[in-house]
Structure formats: structure tokens, C-alpha cells
Amino acid sequence: MADPVSVDRRAILAAAPLLAAPTGALAAEPEFRPPMAASVPVQPPTTRLAWEAEVTIAPVIDMGDSPLGKRRMIPITGGTFAGPRLRGKVLPGGADRQLTRKDGVTLLNALYEMQTDDGAVLTILNRVTADPSAQPPYTRSMVEVTAPEGPHGWLNRRIFVGDLHPLPPERKAVLIRVYEVV
């Protein structure tokens, strides 16, 4: 049987590096490494700007409370957009339907059309999650584009994400930046 004093000494010597470590180092979690990273390298997606749109809007229409939260609709009245591969105008007639949940998060579903300078009409479905309690406020979206085949057909075969920024109230508009996931 081992001498209890020598066992304690060995335990103390083995723990010495941990005792000398800064307090925060003990609490820090190791960086996560996916199990298959050695055989399939991790390549996080990147994005590039597809377009920026200034979308003009009409006053908010309050649609009342529902079991899921407060409902509102904001008519889209027009605007412009420009990017490295396309530019044009936002057509009037779309709308942004919003649901503000009890936790303060707002879910937006905007459906509208944009017309490129060469006459093609793109249908945009922009699904936004806005969390005003996050610092900085979190406003991100998934954007689906339906485009006619031809010069803008590439839009049908890409994934897009975006962000939304309110503009000063006198502008009666929002700024939407859409990024292609590459």
C-alpha cells in the first residue's frame, strides 16, 4: 500500500500547473473542432454584396393582436437598388408583413418586385428576424429571388442573406443590403 503522504505529494505536483494557471484559463472552453474536420476541412461560407436597395414605405397599418403577437403591415411604395451586376427600381405594390412576438422579436415577411434597368422583373421574398434587445440590434434576413431566365437567371441558383437598416423618419424608407453566399 502506498504511503498516504507520498500520494498527496504526487497529486499536488500533478496539479501544480493548473494551480499556477490564471483564473480565467480554467473557465475558458477549448475551441470546438468538428469531429470530421481532419478528413473534411471546415470552410465557413463567405459573402459578397449583391445589391443595396433603398425601399420607400407607406405608413404602418396596425392589424391587431393575435395569439402569436402584434401584427402590422407596411406597404412598399417604390425605391431603387444597385449592385455590381444589376440595378433598377423597386416597384410599388409589395408589402412587409410583421409579427412582433411577446419576447420583443419581430419577424418580417416582405414580398415585392424589383425591375432591373434592362426590364427584367425580379420577385423578392425577404424574411427578416429583428431582435432589438441584442447589442448591437440583430436584424438579419434570408432572401429568395425569383428571376426570369436569361441575364439574371443566376439569381435563381444562389443563396442570399441580408440586413435591414431603418433610415431617418423623414426619408420614409429602409436600407436593405443583400449578399450572395459564395
Q: Note the pLDDT tens digit of each residue in 57-88.
A: 999 999 999 999 999 999 999 999 999 999 99
CATH of the domain at 105: 2.40.160.20
> Is residue 6 scored above 60 in pLDDT?
no
The answer to whether residue 87 sits within a structural domain is yes
The answer to whether residue 26 sits within a structural domain is no
> What is the pLDDT of the chain when averaged over all its residues?
88
Domain that holds residue 155: 47-181
- Res 27: pLDDT: 52
Residue 96, Cβ density class (10 Å: 0-12 exposed, 13-18 middle, ≥19 buried): buried
- Res 31: pLDDT: 87
CA atoms of 141 and 139, how far apart (whole Å):
7
pTM score of the predicted model: 0.80
CB 82 within 8 Å of CB 90: no
Q: Using 50, 70 and 90 to split pLDDT, how confident is the model at 30?
A: confident
Q: What number of helices (H) and strands (E) belong to the chain?
A: 2, 10
How many distinct structural domains can be found in the chain? 1
Determine the residue type at 182: V
